[in-house]
Amino acid sequence: MTNVILSGSCLVKAGTNVSSEFTATPTTLTDPAWDPLIQEAEAEINATTRYNWTDNYATLNDDVKFFFQEAVASTAAMSAIAWDMSGYGSREAETKLDVLLDVKKNAINQLKEIKVRDFVTNA
């Protein structure tokens, strides 16, 4: 399975204190350490919204792609942060996780609204 969301966006969201496991190849846009987290996040977002954004990514409007990227990258970054919080300050990891969860929820809500609107428009 090929990811449609690249590791660079996940790394930015996880921040500079993320485990070195996820920063081993910072000059590339794909990274084997991020791949399973991204795939899991894509599957979760697809299931939660009841639409396969991954398979239909090429046909999406750019704005919709950004909502999907926001949801997936936030979810993958949360997994990376939770995997090893030792690089973060005492409350930094918790704050990052809280912010990313809010961003993820907002993006998922936007994706759900887009599907409802499209269904009603095309009915």
Domain locations along the chain: 7-122
d(CA 42, CA 56): 12
Q: What is the pLDDT of residues 80-92, one digit of tens each?
A: 999 999 999 989 9
Q: How confident is the model at residue 28 (pLDDT cuts 50, 70, 90)?
A: low
Which residue, 74, 73, 70, 76, is CA-closest to 111?
70
Residue 54 in tokens = 């991954």
Which residue, 71, 59, 69, 43, is CA-closest to 118?
59
- The DSSP line for 79-113 is HHHHH--TTS-TTHHHHHHHHHHHHHHHHHHHHHH
Which residue, 53, 51, 1, is CA-closest to 30?
1
pLDDT at position 95? 96
pLDDT at position 74? 97
Record the pTM: 0.88
Rounded to an integer, the average pLDDT of 1-15 is 81
